[in-house]
Structure 1
Amino acid sequence: MSYALRNSLILLVTLLLIAGAAFSYIKFVQKAEINDLTTELESLNRDYGTKTEIRDQYPPLLERYNKARDIVQNFDKKLYSSNNPDDVYDYLSEINDENLELFYDFTYQDSTVNNQYGILRSRIVGTGIYSDFVTFINKIENSLYLNKIENVNITPGVGEATQDYVNFNMTLNSYYQKIVFETAEDIQQKFRIDSTISVFNPLKPLVLSSVPANTDNLTNIEQSRLIGLTSTRIFIIDQNGETQILKPGDKVYLGYLREIDSENKEVIFNLDKGGIQEIFTLKVER
């Protein structure tokens, strides 16, 4: 074998070894790295696409959030901040202030949860003056926190001298936040009332079986004597033998002084005898 041929074979073998090594490196090393890099690139592209969508959606979402926030902050109602029934009880205690003659038991029953809010359900059973009961419900439904009243049952009170007492029971649904959301609370508007709601008691008899007692010791004009009058004042000896001076509009037992008739020397009273309206006239004694 010639020297040139031998060198050519050696060079060929060397080239084959280099080519094989290069092929093996590309096949078994670089291809795996390329696959890993391709997978990583695809993941990065997907992540970039997602973040691009979020970036594009952010301005309209921010605008919607600000609008919703403005609506909630300017809304005249808000939800309780938690599902603690003590918050509801304390709120009702503030509504039932010293101006209302109302007595009740508050019983927490259960709590239900919806997507963005929850409901505390309570039972209220009590007694009180009908007009105060109506005012109590009026405040609950129109004041700051969102409450709804259901299943109201009212019966006339038994044995109450004023005939104005009622027994009542009802279900109270109080709404609370499941997702915390910033709201504005105007303390000045915490308690509100609808003044157009009537407090007339439909359960009270139109005519009472007996007239109310004279607990304030007002002048009983049916047991009094008219001893003198002017155009603006009258002078009466009442049921106790004491002199009383009255002017139009002044209260007497069961009614009030309506009119002074100086010409005929008499006075006219309007009386309400347990629902029966009467006009009572007194003349000056001679």
Structure 2
Amino acid sequence: MSNLGYNIIILATCWLLVTGAGVYVTYFEQPKEVERLEKAEKLARLRQAEVTALLAEESSSAQMAKEIITKWRARYKIIPDALKTPDIVGYLNRLTAVGFKNFDVKFAGNQRGQDFGTYTFKASGRGYYTSLYKFIWEVENNRNFYRVRNLALDQIDLVSENKDTGKNELEVLVSFKMDIDAYYGGVTGLSAGDEGIKGLFESDGLPITQADGAERPPVPSYVLPEMKPITNPFYPLILNAIPPNTYDLLEVENAVLVSIVGDDKAVFVEGGEYVTLGRGDPVYLGQITLIDPTEGRVLARLNRGGIIDEVELLLQTGERYRQAAGDVRLSPIESQ
């Protein structure tokens, strides 16, 4: 065999070996390596995502911790080491000295927990809604640590004698029942001190103390609820009964218009007494809204317990007078 033949055989053998090795690597070794690399890449991405989530969680936790620390430093409630029931009753009596018909307090128990103790009182009574709102605001927001629970309200209409006039007057009140908790004996650090709140807020804090000795929260007023109610939900739009005439005002429905003086004064007689009123002056349940000397009439707008009404009184001229047309004033008719 010639050298050419040997060379062809050698080259063919080398080609077969190289091709076989390439096929083996391509179809058997490389898929395993690709799979290993894909798994490694997936694991790296998962770790990167985990690191990103941990960084985000760390940032969120740091912000939350900052807020919690700020709130903790901003606490202003005072929990005394010891508290006696006469002190609690005296404090409640000071807050309810005005605006209540009665405020009854009954001791309901004393419970000692792991971190603090609690006195519980049951309170009931009757009073004005605005006064009750102020009382609850004081109890819930003053520095003394009290809490109101199980509050139940009901609207009542009470007719009583006015001390100034001796006449009956209608009062719209609320009857209430509630539980009041007073806390004491807190663990170390639970009660707030003045040092922890200095420098945390702007100078918009409410005054620390009032005439009644109750300490106001030294925090900005905008973080607290309104000190006065925006509206009275217990004052009905239409009353069950018309309020009595407490201040002896003119009852236009029982009065007689006898004269109009000038353009803005009218003279009435009621029960034998003469009363002179002008436009805008108050009458029972309302006020004078119009005095018309030309037509000889007076209008009064009345609020009958929520129902608005208008009453017209005409000048009583008698048969000897008549109203002429045009600008002519009232004139007597000559008797025949």
- Give TM-score scaled by structure 2 length: 0.53
Write the mapping of 1:179-258 to structure 2, written as runs, cut at 5 A: 179=187, 183-184=193-194, 186-188=208-210, 190=215, 194-201=227-234, 204=236, 206-208=238-240, 210-226=241-257, 227-231=259-263, 233-258=264-289
| Distance (Å, rounded) in 2 between the aligned partners of 1:242 and 1:157 | 36
The alpha-carbon distance between structure 1 residues 282 and 166, as it changes in their structure 2 partners (threshold 3 A), is same
Secondary structure at the counterpart of residue 222 of structure 1: helix
Alignment gaps of 5+ in structure 2: 1-69, 161-169, 195-206, 218-225, 318-336
Write the mapping of 1:22-61 to structure 2, written as runs, cut at 5 A: none
Q: Deviations over 1:152-187 (max 9, x none)?
A: 222344775636233321111223342475735922
Secondary structure at the counterpart of residue 164 of structure 1: strand
| Distance (Å, rounded) in 2 between the aligned partners of 1:191 and 1:260 | 52
Write the mapping of 1:83-122 to structure 2, written as runs, cut at 5 A: 83-98=83-98, 100-122=99-121
Question: What does residue 13 of structure 1 align with?
Answer: none
| Distance (Å, rounded) in 2 between the aligned partners of 1:262 and 1:104 | 54
The alpha-carbon distance between structure 1 residues 182 and 132, as it changes in their structure 2 partners (threshold 3 A), is closer
The alpha-carbon distance between structure 1 residues 132 and 264, as it changes in their structure 2 partners (threshold 3 A), is farther
Give the count of matched residue pairs: 214
Does 2:167 align with 1:139? no
Contact 2:80 2:186 in 1 (8 A): no
- Give TM-score scaled by structure 1 length: 0.61
The alpha-carbon distance between structure 1 residues 68 and 167, as it changes in their structure 2 partners (threshold 3 A), is closer
| Distance (Å, rounded) in 1 between the aligned partners of 2:300 and 2:80 | 54
The alpha-carbon distance between structure 1 residues 118 and 270, as it changes in their structure 2 partners (threshold 3 A), is farther
The alpha-carbon distance between structure 1 residues 168 and 257, as it changes in their structure 2 partners (threshold 3 A), is same
- Give 1:264 deviation, angstroms: 4.3
Secondary structure at the counterpart of residue 187 of structure 1: coil
Contact 1:235 1:243 in 2 (8 A): no
Q: Deviations over 1:173-202 (max 9, x none)?
A: 223342475735922373696124422315
Alignment gaps of 5+ in structure 1: 1-66
Contact 1:212 1:274 in 2 (8 A): yes
Identity fraction in percent:
21
Deviates further, 247-256 or 77-86? 77-86
What is the root-mean-square deviation in Å for CA atoms of aligned residues? 3.4
Q: Deviations over 1:248-282 (max 9, x none)?
A: 43321122223444564433222122332211122
- Give 1:221 deviation, angstroms: 0.9
| Distance (Å, rounded) in 1 between the aligned partners of 2:295 and 2:137 | 49
The alpha-carbon distance between structure 1 residues 212 and 71, as it changes in their structure 2 partners (threshold 3 A), is closer
Greater share of residues in helix: 1
The alpha-carbon distance between structure 1 residues 182 and 138, as it changes in their structure 2 partners (threshold 3 A), is closer
Contact 2:174 2:234 in 1 (8 A): no
Question: What does residue 268 of structure 1 align with?
Answer: 299
Question: What does residue 173 of structure 1 align with?
Answer: 181
Write the mapping of 1:9-28 to structure 2, written as runs, cut at 5 A: none
| Distance (Å, rounded) in 1 between the aligned partners of 2:131 and 2:280 | 26
AA aligned to 1:125 is: S
| Distance (Å, rounded) in 2 between the aligned partners of 1:154 and 1:167 | 6
| Distance (Å, rounded) in 2 between the aligned partners of 1:220 and 1:283 | 15
| Distance (Å, rounded) in 2 between the aligned partners of 1:146 and 1:198 | 27
AA aligned to 1:195 is: K
| Distance (Å, rounded) in 2 between the aligned partners of 1:97 and 1:229 | 49
Deviates further, 218-227 or 140-149? 140-149
- Give 1:93 deviation, angstroms: 1.2
| Distance (Å, rounded) in 2 between the aligned partners of 1:244 and 1:259 | 16
